[in-house]
Structures are given as C-alpha cells and as structure tokens.
C-alpha cells in the first residue's frame, strides 16, 4: 500500500528509454541463440584493432565451428552508413582471422578452449546484422553489403517462436537459414556409413492414385533421425516464396504430445507424411542397388537409403509428432526420458518419391493438396494458410493474385511494413479480409459480366498469364501494385494527417476496402489513371475518419465506396448505383 509520503517515479528520459530498448533487444537476441544451443561471448563494449581498423562487436554466438558475429541495432536513421561500417568490419575479420581469434582469447581467457577448438580454416564465420525495425534496402544494397547476412524482425520473431517451442532443436532451422549442410558443421567425418540412414521398407505402393508418376514408400525411422533431417515449409519463415503453406508450431499442442510420449513411452501409430529428397536409393537383400520401379516385386525385402543431411526431408503432415521429441538442453526428468526415446522410438513414415525432373512448383502443389486433404476434417486451418494453399494450387485465382499484390505492396512505398503478411506480425493491418472482399475483384483475370478489373487495362502477355507463367504473373502483379501506389499515394498526400495518425480509421480494413472497391467500380468510367489524376480527385476532399465520427461498420465496404464515388470522383448518384 502506498503511503502519503511515497513519491511518484519520474518518467524515463528519452535517453533512458532508448537504453532500455537496446537492453531488451539484446536480451531477446541472446535468448534466441543460447536457447538453441549456441554459447554466448559477451563482446559488447570491447573494442579491438583487427587488420586496418578498429572493430566493436555486439555479441558472438558459437556452436562447434559455427561463429555468429552479431551486430544488433534499434537505429532508424543513417542506417546505411552503420551497415557499411559493419560490412567492412566483417571483411577485415575474415582477412585477419588468426589475429581476431588471438584477440578474443586474450579478452576472454575463460573461453579459450571454445575459441581454439577448431583450426581457423574450419571455422564458418557469419556476420549477422539484426535490426529491430525493418530495413529499407534495395537488391543492390544486399549485394553491396554481402559480408553481412540480414536478420529482419519477422525472421527474428520466427526464430524466437521456434526456440520457445522446440529449444535446441531449433538450431537446425537456423542452420537452414545460413544454408549450412552436415559437412559444414563440426569435425570432418571420414565414415560414409554415418552419413546415411538405412530404413527397411514396410510397404512399397505400386499405385498411389497420385499424378505425374509420384510413388509412395512406407518405412520406420527414428525420431532422432527425423529431427536431424527434416524441415517444414512454414509460411511465416524468412523465405520469399509462394510455395510455403504450413502453419507455425502450436506450442500448447507440442507440449501435450511431448507429455504423452514421456508418459506412454511409445510412438504414434498414424503415419507421418513427408516428401523425400531426390538422392535416396534402394538396396535389395544382396545389397544391389534397385530403382523404385523394381522394389514392388521384392515383397518388402528391400532397404531405403536416405542421406543423413540437414533439412532434406520435407514434412507434409506430422510436424508436432516429430518435434515433440526435441532436444531441450535442460537436465530435467522429462528430457532424460525423451533423450532415450528419441533414439529408441521409430515413427511410421510415408514418403513421397517424386520424379527427379518434376519442378519444385509441381511438388509443392501435390504436397499442399495432401496437407489440405488431411487437415480438412481436423483442427481448423487458419485463413491465411488456406489462402496460401489456394495460391499454390492456382496462382492466377483472384485471391492468389491479390495475395501477391499485398506482399509486394508491403515491401516498399506508402504501405511498407504496414500490412500483416505473417501471423507473427502484430499491430499491422490484417489483410485476409482485404484480399477476400475487395482486392480480388480489382485484380481478377475473370471479371464478372459487365464488370472490369485491372486485367482489362494490362497490356502484357495475357495468354502467358492465363497459362500461369511465373514471369507474366510477376509483370501483372507489378502493374497492379503500381496502380494501387498511385491511387493510395494520392489519398495519403491529401489526407496526410489521418494517414499518419494511428488513432484514425483511415488505415483500417473497412476504409481500405471501401477505397479499393471504389477504384474497381470507377474503372468503367475513368479507366486506369496516373497519380496526378487521383491527386486531383482527392484534392480538397474531406471525410471524418475519427473513431467517433466514422459512420461505417465492418460490413459496409460497398456503402462507403459509393460515398467515395459520389463525393470524391463526382460520379452522379444514379450512375453510382449502376457501377
């Protein structure tokens, strides 16, 4: 209970707030990498001369011969100069590695064994630039600063989520981000047998019902081997690809599965579904190599040989059953039990064997369809995952094109980093309703009878687009994005106060949908225009976007669009009703 004499705590100064922000960000980074099994070297505030320059490193994290030399920043101004300095520092470290190791050993004698465990030629040095805020870098910038690997806020959040769920086993996903293979990590192994997994085939299916000569084999595989070879195409990771469809690990579900394994000490009986890598092979009882077309006659007396390689087996269904066997790094009763079961328990796996000539796009389509089929009657799949699966199945469907446009809008310009692309994005504009109820009709390649879309005004190769050609899709998406940037650029200019006010209703789904629907409806009157045209449309236009004064609710997108058409575009009432 506060006394009468208790003093109010003085508010923090801007300098104190910045110091707290930096401290919290550093703690977050440290928890992610130590939580995935790296050892922390506290290099912050330790300046050293390496080669021709003075170098200060925020932190180093080491796992075996993998060194992460990290720079973290909460800066938002003069960022390119800061990046350039750090890029040059990493270059100097790589040129003078022996000197760098010696300096670190002198500074941290207690870490001498760790720092000198590997010969310098075996070390893999990664300069990580980790920013709390999104960076406005071009493709040329990434090439210019190629001594650094950038960890953006979404990627860092993704790693944080994984480490929270699967602890040390999240390390493999960090290795995948760094593009590391087994041969890159630790001591060089001279044993070829240790580099492969041998699994007796239980059931080779000659006919699977799948298209394009995809074959299926069933086999048993230890949980440990699966953990060390699998990866998941999660749509929230760092990759810029449309072929990602899996949801994030559900940590509550993971905990329940892990508790079941600990309590029962047995594996699940339902299949885990995976896509196998191309470099698998088959051997019969006499150790002769066989093709997959020959194994159906061997009555199961055949072995599947899988290279023991990080991130080579793609999990289609069953990620929680695999990752529940994670390595926690904590000496608890549960971990002691699970560490034994990881090696002992063999999970039933059904693996898809794709023709080597099949494209990654076709493989992803088949995998996402299987995932969709399996989960259609299970726990409801989030809307953004369903949109992603639809996009993989048909990239020129209305919602697919709209999602492409959303992602590109979010990369630069007035919507940069304002739109929710990942389920890890918090506090950003949710986009599922924008895609479903507004944007899809603006970008569709099959507008309804009597209606128009941007497809009517695009002068690119429409036949290639309709045949799902990737280059044509990107060209059309670029066109749509350019139109939207002109349109909303004029809105942002003329409604600047509301655009920059987080309390305003302007940058909400209801308003954005209203504007997009208005743009779509007026196409048959004005067609596609440039920024100057839209600037004139919204010049002097006033509307109350305050929370108290905004008159429309979430279901009144079209009603608001009619208001925009009448009062901004000056289209007569009777004509508005026909649009």
Q: What is the pLDDT along the chain (579 residues), one digit of tens a residue?
A: 455 555 678 888 888 888 999 999 999 999 999 999 999 999 998 999 999 889 999 999 999 999 999 999 998 888 999 999 999 999 999 999 999 999 999 999 999 999 999 999 999 999 999 999 988 888 899 999 999 999 999 899 999 999 999 999 999 999 999 999 999 999 886 554 468 888 877 665 544 445 567 888 888 889 999 999 999 887 666 666 555 556 788 889 899 999 989 888 877 767 888 999 999 998 887 888 887 777 755 445 688 999 999 999 999 888 999 999 999 999 999 999 999 999 988 888 888 899 889 888 788 888 878 877 776 655 555 565 556 666 666 788 898 899 889 989 988 889 988 888 776 666 688 888 899 899 999 999 999 888 999 999 999 999 999 988 888 999 999 999 999 999 999 999 999 999 999 899 999 999 999 999 999 999 999 999 999 999 999 999 999 999 999 999 878 999 999 999 999 999 999 898 888
Query: What is the separation of C-alpha 235 from the centre of its chain, rounded to a whole number of angstroms?
Result: 5
Q: DSSP class of residue 386?
A: H
Dist CA 545 CA 547 (whole Å): 6
Phi-psi region of 231 (alpha: psi -120 to 50; beta: other; left: phi over 0): beta
Q: How many CB atoms lie under 10 A from the CB of residue 343?
A: 12
383 with 423: CB under 8 angstroms?
A: no
311 with 228: CB under 8 angstroms?
A: no
* Closest among 482, 485, 411 to 135, alpha carbons compared: 411
Look at strands 196-205 and 215-222 and give their pairing. antiparallel
Using CA of residue 373, residue 374, residue 380, residue 386, what is the dihedral sign? negative
Look at strands 66-73 and 124-131 and give their pairing. parallel
Alpha helices in 283-439 (DSSP H): 319-323, 333-344, 360-375, 383-393, 398-409, 432-434
- Residue 141, CA atoms < 13 Å, CB-side half-sphere: 12
3-state secondary structure (DSSP) of residue 350: strand
Cα separations in angstroms, 245 against 210, 322, 338, 370, 471: 20, 18, 29, 11, 21
């Amino acid at each position: 209970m506060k006394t009468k004499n208790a003093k109010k705590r003085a508010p923090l100064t801007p300098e104190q707030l910045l110091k707290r922000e930096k401290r919290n960000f550093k703690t977050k980074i440290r928890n992610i990498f130590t939580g995935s099994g790296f050892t922390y070297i506290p290099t912050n505030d330790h300046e050293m001369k390496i080669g021709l320059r003075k170098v200060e490193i925020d932190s180093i994290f080491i796992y075996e011969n993998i060194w992460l030399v990290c720079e973290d920043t909460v800066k938002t101004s003069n960022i390119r100069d800061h990046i350039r300095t750090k890029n040059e520092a990493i270059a100097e470290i790589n040129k003078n590695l022996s000197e760098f190791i010696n300096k670190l050993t002198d500074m941290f004698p207690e870490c001498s064994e760790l720092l000198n465990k590997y010969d310098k030629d075996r070390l893999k040095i990664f300069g990580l630039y980790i920013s709390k805020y999104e960076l406005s870098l071009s493709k040329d910038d990434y090439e210019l600063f190629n001594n650094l690997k950038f960890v953006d806020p979404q990627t860092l959040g993704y790693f944080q989520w994984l480490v929270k769920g699967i602890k040390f086993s999240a390390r493999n996903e960090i290795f995948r981000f760094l593009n590391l293979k087994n041969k890159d990590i630790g001591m060089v192994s001279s044993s070829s047998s240790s580099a492969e997994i041998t699994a007796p085939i239980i059931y080779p299916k000659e006919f699977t019902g799948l298209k394009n000569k995809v074959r299926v084999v069933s086999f048993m595989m230890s949980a440990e081997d699966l953990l060390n070879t699998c990866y998941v195409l999660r749509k929230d990771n760092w990759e810029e690809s449309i072929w990602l469809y899996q949801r994030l690990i559900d940590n509550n579900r993971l905990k329940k599965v892990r508790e079941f394994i600990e309590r029962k000490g047995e594996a699940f009986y339902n299949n885990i579904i995976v896509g196998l890598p191309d470099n698998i092979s088959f051997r019969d009882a006499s150790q002769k190599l066989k093709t997959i077309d020959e194994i159906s006659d061997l009555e199961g007396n055949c072995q599947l040989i899988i290279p023991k390689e990080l991130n080579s087996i793609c999990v289609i269904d069953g990620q929680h059953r695999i990752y529940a066997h994670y390595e926690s790094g904590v000496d608890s009763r549960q971990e002691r039990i699970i560490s034994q079961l990881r090696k002992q328990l063999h999970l039933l796996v059904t693996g898809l064997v794709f023709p080597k000539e099949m494209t990654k796009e076709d493989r992803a389509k088949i995998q996402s369809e299987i995932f969709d089929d399996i989960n259609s009657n299970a726990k409801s799949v989030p809307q953004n995952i369903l949109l992603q699966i639809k996009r993989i199945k048909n990239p020129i469907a209305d919602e697919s094109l709209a999602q492409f446009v959303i992602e590109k809008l979010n990369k630069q310009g007035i919507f940069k980093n304002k739109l929710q692309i990942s389920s890890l994005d918090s506090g950003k504009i949710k986009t599922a309703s924008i895609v479903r109820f507004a944007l899809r009709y603006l970008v569709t390649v099959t507008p309804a009878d009597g209606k128009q879309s941007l497809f009517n005004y695009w002068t690119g190769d429409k036949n290639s687009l309709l045949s799902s050609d990737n280059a044509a899709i990107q060209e059309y998406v670029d066109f749509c994005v350019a139109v939207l940037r002109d349109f909303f650029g004029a809105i942002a200019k003329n409604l600047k106060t509301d655009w920059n006010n987080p309390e305003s209703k302007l940058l909400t789904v209801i308003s954005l949908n209203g504007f997009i629907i208005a743009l779509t409806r007026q196409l048959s009157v004005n067609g596609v225009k440039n920024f100057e045209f839209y600037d004139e449309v919204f010049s002097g236009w006033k509307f109350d976007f305050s929370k108290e004064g905004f008159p429309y609710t979430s279901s009144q997108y079209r009603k608001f669009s009619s208001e925009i058409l009448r009062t901004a575009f000056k289209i007569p009432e009777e004509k508005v009703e026909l649009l």
